[in-house]
Structure 1
Amino acid sequence: MIKKLLPIILALIGTGAGVGAGLFLMPPPAEEHAEGAIECIPPVEDPEHAAPPEETVDEGPPVGREYVKLNNQFVVPVMRKDAVVALVVASLSVEVSSGTTETVYAREPKLRDEFLQVLFDHANIGGFEGTFTNGDRMDVLREGLLDAARSVLGSDVSDVLITEIARQDT
């Protein structure tokens, strides 16, 4: 009798644990509505008379801009109680005015130093703990990196792109 019930009990426990984990790990809603706000719902279109979807083509950087990928990845230790508990590896690119690629490469050592300081500061305040890819945390990091890039390259920099980021726990 127990041999027949055991698989059913295990399946129910596993399903319950999966649902519970899904609810617990679900990200917060992307947008909060103000109390009393009315949500506008677009009208439903008739599929027979709907316009065909527009094709989007990635045309690269905006006119007058170019992307400069920094040569090496950035490795940032995540510390806890004077011990390294993880390493974060990130690849960065800088969006600059056209024709300034050589300036970026000429100033890359200083730029890397500034970026590393921002990344270390971010790690020290717990920015790489938990869900470190959360939009708010990434926005804070991007702003810090952009400020650092502008301190080295001036107004030629319009954005810093985090093209890859990964955390490896030790």
Structure 2
Amino acid sequence: MNIGEKVKALRTERGLTLKQLSESTGLSTGFLSQFERGITTIAVEHLSTIADIFEVKINYFFDDEQEVEPIIRGYDQPVLRILNNMIYKQLSPVPEDKEMAPKLIEIMPHEEREFPDSYPHHGEEFVYILEGILTLNLDGKSYQLYPGDSAHYFSTLDHNWDNQTNRVVKFIVVHYPSDY
């Protein structure tokens, strides 16, 4: 939204006509109309007067409130972290204000090693396997999950997962509440 559009939004929100704003600012209705439509610019002192009329700080008009699309393209998934042969990718464009935390995790094949320790934490998790075979340890039991398989469990149970194969494992995990 440009500055003129922000002024128009405030004006209509407050129920003022162009004529009323013109009388309050000393600027012509024609000029204000052109400014609101983005045809002309405005001097800072006049914008300051408008800010005073609407009881907002002048930086209100300059704050860039970029709208965030509710999607992340597959080619543009941000990498959150790389840890122990695992790549964590963010699947939510603005995870900070959400309750769930969906991630794509890729576990690379690695030399044979001990299975990572299981641990509990607050919340619940949902896991959906996309590729490979994921070994899930859950509450003392071991499960092999294949593409298309899923698991949903309380995170308060001891749990962990690993790739015990020589191929990449890809899966989606959703934590609730968010752990971003």
TM-score, structure 1 length as denominator?
Answer: 0.23
TM-score, structure 2 length as denominator?
Answer: 0.22
Mark the structure with the bigger radius of gyration.
2
Q: Which has the higher contact order (CA 8 A, sep 6+)?
A: 1
